[in-house]
Amino acid sequence: MNDINIPKPKKLKYHEKRVAVTKEFDFSAAHFLYEYQGKCKNLHGHTYIVVLTVSGYTDEQGFLIDFNKLKSIYIESIHNKLDHSYLNSILTNMNSTVENMIVWIWEQLEETFSLVQYKKQDIRIEEIKLYETPTSYATLKWEWMHG
Ligand SMILES: Nc1nc2c(c(=O)[nH]1)N=C([C@H](O)[C@H](O)COP(=O)(O)OP(=O)(O)OP(=O)(O)O)CN2
Ligand SMILES: [Zn+2]
């Protein structure tokens, strides 16, 4: 039987390994592709899925980053800018392919992360996956951005 009256430990133990946590988000947006021969030359929409993975070291409570904090960073950096948007008016000088969008998304997120104090935990974006459809997606990793 579980004892719910376990005394609070005097000092919480935590490890010193780099770990990663992942959270998934979505946004809906419209676009069309320039200089493209195919159905995507016409205005259409997608519900994009963003799979965001960050890595670093945990704090004394065993948190790398609270999932709620990760969500608020995502909402501020990406959702508020892209949800129900017209992508051609945001990525103005390039095609809104998932390849281009994922780099833009990375840069926006990284800017917000740099404003939050995570130096002690050395938190960094480790990987992003951006799904345009359930079967079509792009991947970007820390070493490809910074290696
Ligand atoms: N390398 C890329 N190819 C294509 C992109 C892209 O961003 N990068 N984008 C498109 C279109 O935006 C299109 O809406 C999505 O492409 P697609 O996977 O072909 O979508 P479908 O749902 O029609 O896929 P099916 O598997 O054929 O059902 C095109 N290419
Ligand atoms: Zn499309």
- What is the distance between the alpha carbons of residues 57 and 122, in angstroms, rounded to a whole number? 7
Over residues 110-119, the pLDDT tens digits come to 999 887 777 7
Whole-model pTM: value is 0.92
Residue 18 host element (H or E) = none
User: Residue 87 Cα, ligand 2 centroid: separation in angstroms?
Assistant: 10
Q: Is ipTM over 0.90?
A: yes
For ligand 1, atom 20, which residue shows the shortest CA distance?
Answer: 133
**For ligand 1, what atom is nearest to the CA of residue 96?**
7
**For ligand 1, what atom is nearest to the CA of residue 31?**
12
The residue extents of the domains of the chain are 19-146
Over residues 6-57, the pLDDT tens digits come to 888 888 887 889 999 999 999 999 999 999 999 999 999 999 999 999 999 9
Please confirm, yes or no, whether 40 is among the known catalytic residues: yes
Quote the tokens at residue 54.
Answer: 């960050």
Q: Tell me which fold the domain 19-146 belongs to.
A: Tetrahydropterin Synthase; Chain A (3.30.479)
Please confirm, yes or no, whether 146 is among the known catalytic residues: no
